[in-house]
Structure 1
């Protein structure tokens, strides 16, 4: 691990700063929108804009990099991102905020693709998995840290918007000034959505549902907090709970998934996520129960992303894993785009608890579909399945391809070790 940190610390530091900026502006907009008098459905469309931009960015960024190179794309998107964030408090209009969020999502997607290709190039076969895990951990740490910086200023002013803009600008310095060479860029041609659906119906349907769950919690929890009258400190703590739990639960869930039918874990994980939503619906007026609900939802929804990818890999040849990665991320992105508007509509109809009703409904639907799929196909033999690799729904297709390389390399090493024992 020390070797990984020594060789790529500028990238990890830059990514953490980026995620602090991302986490701050996302939560801050949810709070500021209420102060500006924006309606719940208006804010849901604003929040959905991020995922629209992210979806298109993940498709267009590779072509941009091929045309002008990593450094130019990285610097251009970073400059645009920093400028948009600082303009939010100056142009308090739902239309501009929606367009701005699309631009923010597009920029972050392109930046992630660029940074992750650098990381993939810098990592070596023996430490690639550790590098990916550390990258994901730094993302989570950045998002958690962001929530506690919100208490340093007044959300109705400019300062809290300037801070993420500055952090985003600073994040590029350690990366662009590092001596790492610019990597050659290539991505796998993705499998069609029809092909992936045929290979793994549960993987595809589950990823779509999970996209809606994650975007609802990432985009609409701050809106929920303002509507129920939580303080800034309470909202910050609530949002952070969604990211603290995955840091603890990813590894034990991953260990279990390599030793049993992954569908069972998907079923119980989705079930726990759903019960977390129900807990918030009925006991959300008690802040302590609200935090427990956030831990349950966040602790399950993030590992479910990795589980669904690992489960889909179990039915793929190694040569097809990278090709399937882009399709899986795209399916998750489609679910993420529709999540906030449906949540906003539900909150408008039944009140703030509509957020957690939506999360509960989608989670129970996923659990039900996982149970159904267990009756339609035999479970793969545990020894024949590929290894679980830690991922998050904020990852770009490049990171998922990166993770697939880790899986393939581990499988090759295991096969070579087994062959050596036989000899």
Structure 2
């Protein structure tokens, strides 16, 4: 873990500062909007507008990375977010706030894609789970710190909008000034939803479910707490336990996922979440038990996001990772849009327990789908990524060897090398498509141990 952090510290530092700014503005707008006499419907439009921008950003960001690279995209979007943050107290109209939230969502979607594809590019399959866990831990630390900053300020003043803007502006200084290595590939490969789904159906469906869980859990927790007659302090404590649980389990889950089949970890985490949420739905739990539920729920939800990204990227070339991250984030955003809406409706039908019931249904769906996907392929034995692959005639195995072979050809700086790399990528893509079609044909043979949905997995 330490090696991963040292290798990516400029990026992680920038993400930390960005998340402090994002955490402050996310909570501040709800409070300030209430003080400005915005009604509930208006505030819900303002908050949901973020996810509209998020979806747009998830489609546009890969092209931006393709044209100008990771560092410039990170800095440009950070500057855009910083500028919008200082405009909120100057333009106090809910319609304008909604438009600005679209811009904020667009910016953060692009930053997430840039950061995650950057991490995936610098990590190996052996360290990818740890790298993404470190990334999520930094995000949570930033959000937790932002709540402390919010509590110390006046939501009706200008300072609480200015401070996040300054923090966001400072976020890209480590990236621009550090001499740490940045991603070396200069292009990304377009990857449609159909192609991404064929590569990893579990990754796509899992991210859709994860978005619904996350947005409902963090967007509706305060509503559930208020309707359950909890005090403000109790609601804050419940929310903080969601983050604490995520902080405590991020690294252990990431470390374990680099050593055994990630699908097994997803399955057991989903089973535990389903059982805990059913108990919380059926029983009238005391507050201390609700805190345990919150800790377990946060400790499962955050690592699940990292697991799904790492699992999907196990089957991708480095050139495909930015586009894949965009697709996964788009799926996550779609789920996030509907999460609060469905949760609110369900709570109106069955009462406050509808909050836990909705989350239980989603995690139960994750259990069923993960089990089904595991029956589609043999479960590999895992100790290391792309090591000890059993030689077979599989074209997918051959592609894995090619993608992970050391570069002994001409320098990628030369036009000849670029042309050669392009031809090689086209050949590998054609081989993968042919292999998938053959595997999908009736009577197709199951892959041997060490192969998974799109290629050989980790074997030992």
- Name the TM tier (shorter chain): 0.7 to 0.9
TM-score (norm 1): 0.74
Change (3 A) 1:310 1:107: closer
**Aligned residues between the structures:** 391
Could you list the per-position Cα deviations for residues 135-187 of structure 1 after superposition, in whole angstroms to 9, with x for gaps in the alignment? 44322211222222222134454443333223223323444344568766645
- Is the deviation greater in 18-27 or in 158-167? 158-167
Could you list the per-position Cα deviations for residues 71-103 of structure 1 after superposition, in whole angstroms to 9, with x for gaps in the alignment? 664444333312323443554544333322221
SS, match of residue 381 in structure 1: coil
Change (3 A) 1:354 1:44: farther
CA distance in structure 2 between the partners assigned to 1:200 and 1:115 by the alignment: 21
Q: Does 1:167 find its partner at 2:167? A: yes
Could you list the per-position Cα deviations for residues 4-35 of structure 1 after superposition, in whole angstroms to 9, with x for gaps in the alignment? 66665444333211111112222333444555
Asked if 1 retains the 8 angstrom alpha-carbon contact of 2:144 and 2:240, the reply is yes
Q: Does 1:57 find its partner at 2:57? A: yes
CA distance in structure 1 between the partners assigned to 2:137 and 2:9 by the alignment: 13
Residue aligning to 2:143: 143
Q: How does 1:304-315 map to 2 (within 5 A)?
A: 304-312=304-312
Q: Does 1:381 find its partner at 2:380? A: yes
- Is the deviation greater in 135-144 or in 274-283? 274-283
Listed as ranges, the gaps of 5+ residues in structure 1 are 388-404, 416-423
Q: Does 1:81 find its partner at 2:61? A: no
CA distance in structure 1 between the partners assigned to 2:254 and 2:2 by the alignment: 23
SS, match of residue 382 in structure 1: coil
Q: How does 1:253-402 map to 2 (within 5 A)?
A: 253-257=253-257, 262-278=262-278, 280-281=280-281, 286-312=286-312, 316=315, 322=321, 324-350=324-350, 353-374=353-374, 376-383=375-382, 386=385
CA distance in structure 2 between the partners assigned to 1:181 and 1:383 by the alignment: 29
Query: Aligned-pair distance for 1:213?
Result: 0.9
Higher relative contact order (CA 8 A, sep 6+): 1
Could you list the per-position Cα deviations for residues 176-227 of structure 1 after superposition, in whole angstroms to 9, with x for gaps in the alignment? 3445687666453244323343454333322211121112223333454455
Change (3 A) 1:107 1:46: same
Change (3 A) 1:73 1:193: closer
Asked if 2 retains the 8 angstrom alpha-carbon contact of 1:283 and 1:290, the reply is no
- Is the deviation greater in 297-306 or in 365-374? 365-374
CA distance in structure 2 between the partners assigned to 1:52 and 1:108 by the alignment: 12
Change (3 A) 1:151 1:76: same
Could you list the per-position Cα deviations for residues 280-304 of structure 1 after superposition, in whole angstroms to 9, with x for gaps in the alignment? 5466884433322221221111222
Q: Does 1:22 find its partner at 2:15? A: no
Asked if 2 retains the 8 angstrom alpha-carbon contact of 1:80 and 1:107, the reply is yes
CA distance in structure 1 between the partners assigned to 2:205 and 2:296 by the alignment: 21
SS, match of residue 376 in structure 2: coil
Residue aligning to 1:239: 239
Could you list the per-position Cα deviations for residues 220-259 of structure 1 after superposition, in whole angstroms to 9, with x for gaps in the alignment? 3345445556555544433332222223223433455456
Change (3 A) 1:205 1:65: closer
CA distance in structure 1 between the partners assigned to 2:348 and 2:37 by the alignment: 14
CA distance in structure 1 between the partners assigned to 2:313 and 2:236 by the alignment: 36
Q: How does 1:197-208 map to 2 (within 5 A)?
A: 197-208=197-208
SS, match of residue 25 in structure 1: helix
Change (3 A) 1:31 1:233: farther
Q: Give the superposed CA RMSD.
A: 4.2
Asked if 2 retains the 8 angstrom alpha-carbon contact of 1:17 and 1:170, the reply is yes
SS, match of residue 188 in structure 2: coil
CA distance in structure 2 between the partners assigned to 1:284 and 1:266 by the alignment: 28
Residue aligning to 1:394: none
Q: Which structure would you say has the larger Rg?
A: 2
CA distance in structure 2 between the partners assigned to 1:234 and 1:410 by the alignment: 54
CA distance in structure 1 between the partners assigned to 2:184 and 2:384 by the alignment: 31
Residue aligning to 1:216: 216
CA distance in structure 2 between the partners assigned to 1:70 and 1:258 by the alignment: 26
Asked if 2 retains the 8 angstrom alpha-carbon contact of 1:25 and 1:164, the reply is yes
